[in-house]
Structure 1
Amino acid sequence: MKKIIQNCLIGAGISSMLYLISGSIFANEEVRKNSLLILILGLLIGVCSSIYGATKLALLTKSVIQFSGSYLSFLFVAHLGGWFPFRLKIILSASVMFALIYLAIWAIFYYVEKKELEQLNKKLGRQ
């Protein structure tokens, strides 16, 4: 299961990179701008994700820090790109959408890591 998820994520990353590169070369100015903004957003979220390996904080604390940084990055990049009007109802809708996607991805990673730890503990005879 872990390998399938890893392969899906790698495939999504490769296809996104192909889109970014081809969009930056062959598309109009609007697509170029959005390609750059998507790349910036991915880099910012990647930086925020580094909290998981860099500290000895509790998982909840790390998750809140990573979510907050990713969410603020999303809002910043969305504002720069004019991806949606910054009105309260729309921001709330986009925020709910972001949170649901984030939680789904977080849950997948949590499940995979938990299973990996259980298998490791089983091999070590701790369960």
Structure 2
Amino acid sequence: MNKILKSTLQGIGIGSSIMLIFIAIFNVTIDFLDVISVYLFGAICGFLPIVYEFDNLPLPIKLIIHLGGSVIAFFILSTINHWVPLQPEPLIGALTIFTLIFLVIWFIFLIFNAQQSKKINTKLKNM
């Protein structure tokens, strides 16, 4: 449970940070519903990595579940909050940007976890 809570809170932090960057770049104003939606979206994206705990699923399937769930959450919340117009070009652009941001964050976590695993294996070999 502690791992899920930590991951969910990390998702909220990352999502909030990205939203602050977008606010600064595009000079947008947000209201209370937007803030709650960003927190909810971050929590969902932070919770979805629970799928990586299932050893019987191959990594590409885990990534598809994580990315797919995140995309669904983004488009539901962006539709509710009118963040992205429901037209092909803006939707494709938003999906592209979202996917790129997602993959960058995912690779950062992958590299971090690989480095941690390497350190743990080195300590175990030295014992």
TM-score (norm: length of structure 2)? 0.72
Matches within 5 A, 1:74-93: 74-93=74-93
2:119: which partner in 1?
Answer: 119
Matches within 5 A, 1:39-50: 39-50=39-50
1:34: which partner in 2?
Answer: 34
2:52: which partner in 1?
Answer: 52
Partner Cα distance (1:42, 1:13) in 2 = 7
1:21: which partner in 2?
Answer: none
2:4: which partner in 1?
Answer: none
1:70: which partner in 2?
Answer: 70
**Shift of residue 70 of structure 1?**
0.4
**Shift of residue 58 of structure 1?**
1.9
Can you give the 5+ residue segments of structure 1 that lack an aligned partner in the other structure? 1-8, 18-29
**Cα pair 2:67 2:102 within 8 Å, conserved:** yes
Q: Which has the larger radius of gyration?
A: 1
Moved more, 34-43 or 73-82: 34-43
**Shift of residue 39 of structure 1?**
1.7
Aligned length, in residue pairs: 104
Q: In the alignment, residue 74 of structure 1 is paired with which amino acid?
A: F
Partner Cα distance (2:39, 2:13) in 1 = 11
Can you give the 5+ residue segments of structure 2 that lack an aligned partner in the other structure? 1-8, 18-29
1:23: which partner in 2?
Answer: none
Query: For the aligned residues, what is the CA RMSD?
Result: 2.6
Higher relative contact order (CA 8 A, sep 6+): 2
Partner Cα distance (2:41, 2:33) in 1 = 12
**Cα pair 2:48 2:66 within 8 Å, conserved:** yes
